[in-house]
Every structure is written in structure tokens, then in C-alpha cells.
Amino acid sequence: MNSHTATHLVLIMTTTTENLKLDSMFDPPHPGEILRKDVFPEMGLTVTEAASQIGVSRVALSRVLNGRAAISPDMALRLEAWLGVENGGRAETWLTHQLVYDLWRARQKVA
């Protein structure tokens, strides 16, 4: 990963995390969408390449990217090891994205 890519990823993850407000965010993105639309294109990776590097199956990663599976603690730790904390890949960040997404969806069902 070059320094421009690393800086860009840190900005994506930091900005997104700072903007997460559990009570006011409208229709937050699934964390897989963040990976699919922001991270992978910046790194120039296909799903197959990323899955191999992360250490998961293509199917498992595809399910996350398409919002059909949640970011689990295991997946969050894999993303942290793969991206590196210095590049915005903290496991807590990914889990926070998932929590905000899940909570917003649950609130829509209750409302």
C-alpha cells in the first residue's frame, strides 16, 4: 500500500467514525458497502484478491460486501490485521460501523 492510499484510507475511516451519531444518522451504510465502494477501489483489489489477503473465502467476503452478512468480531480483527491500525483498520471502527447500521435498522422496525 502506498502512502497516498494509506492516507486516504485513514481519512475515510476517521471521518466516517467521527460522523457516526447513533441517534441522528440517517440510513447509515453497511460496513461492507464502505469496503466495496471506498477501500477496495482505492487499493485496486478484486473481491477474490482481497478475500485471499484477508484469509476468508470469496463467498464469505462477498456476503459482507453485499450487506447479507455482518462484520463479526473475527472479521473485524482480520480487517485490522490486513489494513493496519495506522490505515484506519481498527477492529473497533468496523464493529462500530456494524453497530450503527444494525441499530438504525432495528429502530426503523420499531418506529
pLDDT on residue 88: 82
Residue 51 confidence class, pLDDT cut points 50, 70, 90: very high
pLDDT on residue 87: 87
Domain assignments of the chain as residue spans, ordered by start: 3-110
3-state per-residue secondary structure call for the chain: CCHHHHHHHHHHHHHHHHCCCCCCCCCCCCHHHHHHHHHHHHHCCCHHHHHHHHCCCHHHHHHHHCCCCCCCHHHHHHHHHHHCHHHCCCHHHHHHHHHHHHHHHHHHHHC
Of 13-22, 23-32, 42-51, 60-69, least confident by mean pLDDT is: 13-22
Per residue in 54-93, pLDDT (tens digit) is 999 999 999 999 999 999 999 999 999 999 999 889 999 9
The superfamily CATH assigns to domain 3-110 is lambda repressor-like DNA-binding domains (1.10.260.40)
